[in-house]
């Protein structure tokens, strides 16, 4: 709607979406993020409004996830990881969210934290392949080759996964 010149109607639509689901990542992007999601200065300028929205919706994982992404863009890694951990605690069954969190932990070489969180998951073999992949990489990062090989092998032998994922494992 904004692209069609209907700016006010676009804002109203995004606001309605956030009223219905304050954690909707797309609506959060439209409302709080700059058009250029790589413009660190504009992200920094927009973050107080996103923080206020998050504070107003403390039990909504998506808001904390979006704010965590903003903090990553601004280089505030420790704060971002805390926000991702908070989001995961609010939505423990959201494998996509947890995989993003573990991916960010992996980039910071915090492999032990990934494995500690993975130890709390009882059915890892049935969870999202990205979680399983991050767990395998964490083992590898800690030079636990046997465990890493076992984790990658489990992914490789999972017939439910795309062949390219299995082949890479």
Q: Mind listing the pLDDT tens digit for each residue in 58-117? A: 999 999 999 999 999 999 999 999 999 999 999 999 999 999 999 999 999 999 999 999
153 has pLDDT over 90:
yes
Q: What pLDDT is recorded for position 137?
A: 96
Q: What pLDDT is recorded for position 8?
A: 86
User: How far apart, in Å, are the Cα atoms of 48 and each of 10, 23, 43, 70, 118?
Assistant: 22, 17, 9, 10, 32
**Which residue from 29, 9, 30 is spatially nearest to 70, judged by alpha carbons?**
29
46 has pLDDT over 90:
yes
6 has pLDDT over 90:
no
Q: How confident is the model at residue 17 (pLDDT cuts 50, 70, 90)?
A: very high
Q: What pLDDT is recorded for position 11?
A: 86
Q: What pLDDT is recorded for position 163?
A: 93
22 has pLDDT over 90:
yes
Other CB atoms within a 10 A radius of the CB of residue 52 amount to 11
**Tokens coding 32:** 């709080």
Q: What pLDDT is recorded for position 47?
A: 95
**Which residue from 149, 148, 169, 145 is spatially nearest to 159, judged by alpha carbons?**
169
DSSP tag of 126: G
Q: How confident is the model at residue 26 (pLDDT cuts 50, 70, 90)?
A: very high
Q: What pLDDT is recorded for position 7?
A: 81
As a 3-state breakdown, the chain gives helix, strand, coil percent values, each rounded to 5, of 70, 0, 30
d(CA 98, CA 85): 8
End-to-end CA distance of the chain: 43
Q: What pLDDT is recorded for position 60?
A: 97
Reduced 3-state DSSP string for 27-79 = HHHHHHCCCCCCCHHHHHHHHHHHHHHHHHCCCCHHHHHHHHHHHHHCCCHHH
Lowest pLDDT segment from 5-9, 68-72, 149-153, 156-160: 5-9
Mean pLDDT for the chain?
Answer: 93
pTM for the model:
0.88
- 130 CB-near residues (< 8 Å, 6+ apart): 95, 96, 99, 103
């Amino acid at each position: 709607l904004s692209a069609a010149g209907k700016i006010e109607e676009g804002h109203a639509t995004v606001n309605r979406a956030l009223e219905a689901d304050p954690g909707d990542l797309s609506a959060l992007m439209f409302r709080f993020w700059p058009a250029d999601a790589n413009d660190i200065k504009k992200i920094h300028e927009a973050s107080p409004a996103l923080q206020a929205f998050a504070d107003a919706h403390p039990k909504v994982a998506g808001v904390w996830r979006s704010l965590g992404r903003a903090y990553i863009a601004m280089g505030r890694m420790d704060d971002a990881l805390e926000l991702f951990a908070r989001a995961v605690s609010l939505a423990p069954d959201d494998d996509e969210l947890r995989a993003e969190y573990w991916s960010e932990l992996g980039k910071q070489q915090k492999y032990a934290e990934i494995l500690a969180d993975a130890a709390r998951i009882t059915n890892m073999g049935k969870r999202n392949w990205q979680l399983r992949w991050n767990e395998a990489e964490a083992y590898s990062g800690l030079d636990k080759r046997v465990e890493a090989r076992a984790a990658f092998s489990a992914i490789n032998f999972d017939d439910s996964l795309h062949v390219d994922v299995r082949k890479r494992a």
